[in-house]
Structure 1
Amino acid sequence: MNHIFTTQRVVTSEEIDQLNHVNNVVYLQWVQDIAEQHWAELSKNNPQPDYIWVVIRHEIDYLQQAVLGDTITLKTWVGETQGVKSVRHVEIYKDAVLLVKAQTTWCLLHAKTLRPTRITESVINTLLPQK
């Protein structure tokens, strides 16, 4: 498995729905947020200003629920990357219990033209740093 990026957060009242658990849209936002945080971490020493990432597909399995005050651990890593696409995996836990797993397909765009562009060796080296 590739480098795993991990972060934690505590569930806030704004993230709770009428069923008194974290709303499914909030999990989706967390998936987006950790992807952006991980890219920022990976690219901090090798900025890639010519490129931007856009989501073209989300697959999310909601397995368990989280409630107000729970401490949540989010983990992400980069999977298959080729052509113009890169797959990112996210798992969301409460303690050791897997709550949500997601797989998102991202497409690399050229920042000026906003057109899909092949993932360069430099971007691959940023996404998948050698150990």
Structure 2
Amino acid sequence: MRFARDFAAQAADIDELGHVNNAVWVRWIQDLATAHWQAVAPPEHQAAYVWVVTRHEIDYRGNVGLGDVVTGETWVPDAPKGARFDRHVRFADAAGKTVVEAVTTWALIDRATGRLLRVRPDIATPFLD
């Protein structure tokens, strides 16, 4: 299941070069993934588990300036491997041009114990593309 959300560049997001700072893109990637989890995962999963990023791979293909809006889209194309899965992310500008692409690796943590957990099919299925 693909999930999308819009992001608007605010003054605090802009760096000295006049475009969205790289650290902001990382925050937007995390915000998009979190919103996807909150929109799709059942309440009992949200209460029992939390996800942490173990790796980001980001390709910057364009710039976004103050007031510009991008649409972030995320999806999980492949089944998890143990406690981890790769989430794909793409941000496109108003013209539909991809400005940022990323693959992030996330790991599932049990909230009660703080330990890694194998991602069961019932947790993964609602997210698989």
Query: Quick check: TM above 0.5?
Result: yes
1:128 Cα deviation after fit = 3.0
Residue equivalent to 1:35: 33
Q: When the two structures are aligned, how many residues end up with a matched partner?
A: 126
Residue in structure 1 matched with residue 91 of structure 2 by the alignment:
92
Task: Give, in whole Å, the separation in 2 of the partners of 1:4 and 1:122.
Answer: 17
Shift of 1:4: 1.2
Amino acid at match of 2:44: P
Residue of structure 1 in register with 2:114 after alignment: 114
Instruction: Provide structure 2 residue ranges, at least 5 long, that are not aligned to the other structure.
Output: none
SS of 2:109 mapped into structure 1:
strand
Determine if the alignment matches structure 1 residue 69 to structure 2 residue 34: no
Instruction: Name the counterpart of 1:53.
Output: 51
Shift of 1:35: 0.1
TM-score (norm 2): 0.91
Q: Deviations over 1:28-74 (max 9, x none)?
A: 1000000000000011x453022111110000001100001111111
1:59 aligned counterpart, secondary structure: strand
**1:66-108, Cα deviation, whole Å (9 max, x unpaired):** 0011111110011322211011111011121110001000011
% identical equivalent positions: 37
How far, CA to CA, are the matches of 2:51 and 2:86 in structure 1?
A: 11
Stretch moving more, 14-23 or 45-54: 45-54
Which aligned runs of 4 or more in structure 1 are off by greater than 2 angstroms? 125-129
